[in-house]
Structure 1
Amino acid sequence: MLLLGIDIGTSSVKVSVVDAVSQKTLASAQFPDTESPIISLQLGWAEQSPDMWWEQTQQAIQMCHAKGTYNPDDVAAIGIAYQMHGLVLVDKDQQVLRNSIIWCDSRAVEYGDKAFEAIGEEKSLSHLLNSPGNFTAAKLAWVKANEPEIYAQIDKIMLPGDFIAMKLTGSITTSKSALSEGIFYDFKENGLSEDVMRFFGFDEALIPTVNELFSPHGTITQEIASSLRLKAGIPVAYKAGDQPNNALSLNVLNPGEVAATAGTSGVIYGVSDKLAYDQQSRVNTFAHVNHTDAQKRLGILLCINGTGSLNRWAKNLFGANISYQQMNELAKQVPEGSNGLRILPFGNGAERMLNNKLVGVHFHHIDLNLHNQSHIFRAVQEGIACAFRYGLDIMRENGMKPTVIRAGKANLFLSDLFAQTFVNATGVPVELYNNDGSVGAALGAGIGAGIFNSPEEAFTGMEKIQVIEPIPGNNFEQVYQEWKILLEKQLIAEEAIEEAAREK
């Protein structure tokens, strides 16, 4: 019995096929090889085509089949993980009405801020566990205000994973976890937020049918099954945002357990059993994959928008003809602290942990006679690690104090230098696993289809491959404190610029 997992990322789509009995991966494929484009029509905007995701999904599934390591007829369930917070709009014929406004798009901040003020800050935080900020509900409000002709045609709103499930099954569903990540869910009332819907003037008919996260969300149609060489009637039995799914795939399910990832964005994600929130919404709280009304499991999420994206940017500009591994080797030639070079890694949209400020990437203390390509590569990784430390300190303020962090050996954690720098910066050991979002989605499908009796049972085969401890006597605390001073000065400068703009 096989399980197929789909991971809809910002950069590409990855598909894996997993044997449900052994929990071993039989095949994986990623499409495209190069990074998918992000459409940015204005500063701070970020869009992608949902139809592009669907085409990439089909290509990746066919590439998996082409490996010849399994019989596609044996696939029994499908799971989907997806980039969080994106807004997808379809009409009554399930046709996409516009590009998706994706997670790192900043245009809707003012709409969320107005809702936060109108609903009341304390009520928003205690019921939504977040400010509406720049999440999916605020993005929909932007469309309503700025593209009324499109808004008038909307039949259903969706997140990216809901859209791919719709293309596979023809059914449109959502879950409590998905509603919470869009800031549509009231945790005190255990249902759709009347405050959010009323303030923005949204019709409840726009919201899809709400299903349990681990449950059938429709079955594969005959037409799609034929085109993808799968059996008709296979259920899509699991859908979750990429960070809850990453936590699931690392068996991070219980209060106090913490996961991290450093792909296009960087995330630390911890589980709590309390309806907790940050007074400034610098970190955000959503329903975790195993959250129920009776047994609360909340995911506390810190997000840094531009981690892997900054590393890619540095490679394109300073190392276009070398591999990431070669970049890492060059970075190792430079001492800790990059001979004074400091980088603020905030160039991929408004940063929630910085109160939704558009800070940008900043290089500090460049010495034209000293610093070279290798210094850039190391300072990028150190700047990202410092951003993680800054965010983790916010999580600590809110009661999340991890003694160990689990991560998949993927993306930036493939770099031994970055992994050690992350540990030295945060002071927390990291356990690395052969974890993959598409594999997690496949095993999630096994839970939703009843093949596994519990999430814990689905990950009994998970193996720890490495533990990284802080190096005794390392001097990274000094590097971090210097970096933090530069960030705080930049935030003051950004506030002054905003104030000057308001006075004009």
Structure 2
Amino acid sequence: GEDVCLNHLLNSPGNFTASKLAWVKANEPHIYEQCDKIMLPGDYIAMMLTDAITSSNSGLSEGIFWDFQANEVSADVMDYYGFDDNLIPEIKPVFSNHGEVTSEIAQRLGLKAGIPVTYKAGDQPNNALSLDVLEPGEIAATAGTSGVVYAVSDQVSYDPQSRINSFAHVNHQLTEETTRIGILLCINGTGILNRWVKENFGNNLNYVEMNQLAAQAPIGSNGLLVMPFGNGAERLLNNRILGASFQNLNFNIHSRSHIFRAAQEGIAFSLHYGFELMQANGVIPKVIRAGNANMFLSDIFSNALVNVTNTPVELYDTDGAKGAALGAGFGVGIYSSPKEAMSKLTKLKVIEPNAAQVAEYQAVYEGWKSILEK
């Protein structure tokens, strides 16, 4: 039922790993009957390296197997789907010894046998770690092919409409008193939209040249608004299939400069719309952190996001691989805490809100939002 799912699992489980396993059980019973243990991708890679099978509260929560009230694997999920408890691997802390590299694998990969695997996490929790997003109010943003906003909260909370997801962050229950929930939303059409306008309106321009043209149009693109949802239904829109659209396009006013700018502004507005859902769920943004890559290479996009959210953006020279290596350093005891492990990240730039532009962007956003919610 809805109440149990949201209060205990923090999510509607329908499109996550537990339900996918239930599909296998119902539709491919000959496969299911051979199962000894279930693993998320990181668990499987670690098993291949070490021959040990483990998981964590963070990993299991991403599969919607974790009961946050009971602080254990959900008996409700296991009973409802008819899963045997023995399918669940040994559960260990995120930062701990999940096994050592075997001699065979060490020889094949040119590594030293016995190296411990001391950290594993899903892509977005790990991206957040790599950006030192560990405390309430800190937000990690990515804007590549799709866009993700990942915020940290100290409250076990959920969205009543399941438009955003809540998982155990990598440092959840690092101590008994530490509650750290990662709250995630995904926009399917960020870099995809930017590439689409480049391919269809760019006439062989590169992205730098396209951004230079976009800068020639004013904030708000003279009334042109873009809905960036052309890559499928969005959970933050309650699965309405809205598609992408250009609103208020005027052949006498608008050029491709306006189209380039409006597309990037529409992407920033869609992320801000998700921010508002997060704020309704108790997230109070203090800072947005991102890698200096993808859409964040565009000043148009970065400034639009900073000013419409009225939240500074810090850009770092980091990526998920570097973050994972540092996380493993904490897991093996080189660092005393994840915060210390991330303490020497290189901050490249800070973009602060501009008071005049905040008001201008937020006025444009309200018009964009009114179209979205019609």
Q: Same fold (TM over 0.5)?
A: yes
State the distance in 2 between where 1:359 and 1:145 align: 32
2:213 is aligned with 1:330: yes
Once the two structures are TM-superposed, the CA of residue 423 in structure 1 deviates from its matched residue by 1.0
Cα distance in 1 between the residues matched to 2:107 and 2:369: 55
Q: For 2:120, what is the secondary structure of its paired residue?
A: strand
List aligned pairs for 1:462-477, cutoff 5 A. Answer: 462-474=345-357, 475-477=360-362
Q: Report how far residue 444 of structure 1 moved.
A: 0.6
1:249 aligns with one of 83, 105, 130: 130
Report the Cα distance in structure 2 between the residues aligned to 1:237 and 1:225, rounded to whole angstroms. 16
**Partner Cα separation in structure 1 for residue 96 and residue 244 of structure 2:** 42
Letter in 2 for 1:392: F
Q: 1:288 to 1:325 in 2, by over 3 A?
A: same
Q: 1:371 to 1:140 in 2, by over 3 A?
A: farther
- Residue from 462, 486, 501 that aligns with 2:371: 486
CA deviation string 1:96-144 (max 9, x = no partner): xxxxxxxxxxxxxxxxxxxxxxxx2222221112221422222223333
Check conservation: 2:287, 2:311, Cα contact below 8 A: yes
For structure 1, which runs of at least 5 residues remain unmatched after alignment?
1-119, 490-504
Whole-angstrom CA distance in 2 between matches of 1:284 and 1:253: 17
Partner of 1:302: 185
Counterpart amino acid of 2:335? Answer: F
Please give the per-residue CA displacement for 1:350-376, whole angstroms capped at 9, x wherever unaligned. 422222334332333334455444333
Equivalent residue, structure 2, for 1:380: 263
Instruction: Give the aligned residue type for 1:342.
Output: L
Matched, 1:207 2:88: yes
What does 1:277-356 correspond to in 2, within 5 Å? 277-292=158-173, 293-319=176-202, 321-356=204-239
Q: What is the DSSP-based 3-state SS (H/G/I as helix, E as strand, rest coil) of the residue aligned with 1:244?
A: helix
Pairing 1:231–2:116 present: no
Tell me, in whole angstroms, the C-alpha distance in 2 between the residues paired with 1:221 and 1:471.
Answer: 55
Q: Any gaps of 5 or more consecutive residues in structure 2?
A: none
The answer to whether 1:439 aligns with 2:315 is no
2:19 is the alignment partner of 1:134? no
One-letter amino acid matched to 2:151: G
In 2, Cα distance between the equivalents of 1:331 and 1:268? 24
Name the structure where strand makes up a greater proportion of residues: 1
- Secondary structure of 1:238's counterpart equals coil
Shift in Å at residue 320 of structure 1?
A: 7.4
Between the aligned partners of 2:204 and 2:47, the Cα distance in structure 1 is 40
1:121 aligns with 2:2: yes
The answer to whether the 8 A contact 2:141-2:288 is kept is yes
Q: 1:246 to 1:313 in 2, by over 3 A?
A: same
**Amino acid paired to 2:310:** G
Map of 2:57 onto structure 1: 176
Distance 1:388 1:483 in 2: 12
Counterparts of 1:203 and 1:446 in 2: how far apart (Å)?
35
Residue 117 of structure 1 is matched in structure 2 by none
Structure-2 separation of matches of 1:285 and 1:426: 21
Residue identity over aligned pairs, in percent, reads 63
- Mapped pair 1:461 → 2:358: no
RMSD over aligned Cα, in angstroms?
2.2
Separation in 1 of the partners of 2:299 and 2:340?
31
Shift of 1:308: 2.3
Residues 1:391 and 2:287 aligned together: no
Cα deviations by residue, 1:279-323 (Å, 9 ceiling, x for unpaired): 112222211111114422111223223322332333344447343
How far apart in 1 are the matches of 2:263 and 2:81?
Answer: 40
Q: Distance in 1 between matches of 2:9 and 2:283?
A: 19
**CA separation in 2, counterparts of 1:148 and 1:309?**
38
Deviation digits for residues 144-199 of structure 1 (CA, Å, limit 9, x no counterpart)? 34444443444433322223323333333211001111111001111110111111
**Amino acid paired to 2:118:** A
- C-alpha separation in 1, matches of 2:58 and 2:100: 21
Alpha-carbon offset, residue 247 of structure 1: 2.0
Taking the aligned partners of 2:133 and 2:241, their CA distance within structure 1 comes to 31
Deviation of residue 433 (structure 1)?
A: 1.9
What TM-score does the superposition give when structure 2 sets the normalisation length? Answer: 0.91
Offset of 1:393 from its aligned partner?
Answer: 0.9
1:412 equivalent among 292, 295, 300: 295
Give 1:438 shift: 1.1
Task: Give the TM-score taking structure 1 as reference length.
Answer: 0.68
Quick one: distance in 2 between partners of 1:365 and 1:155? Answer: 57
Aligned with 2:86: secondary structure? helix
- Counterpart for residue 185 of structure 1: 66
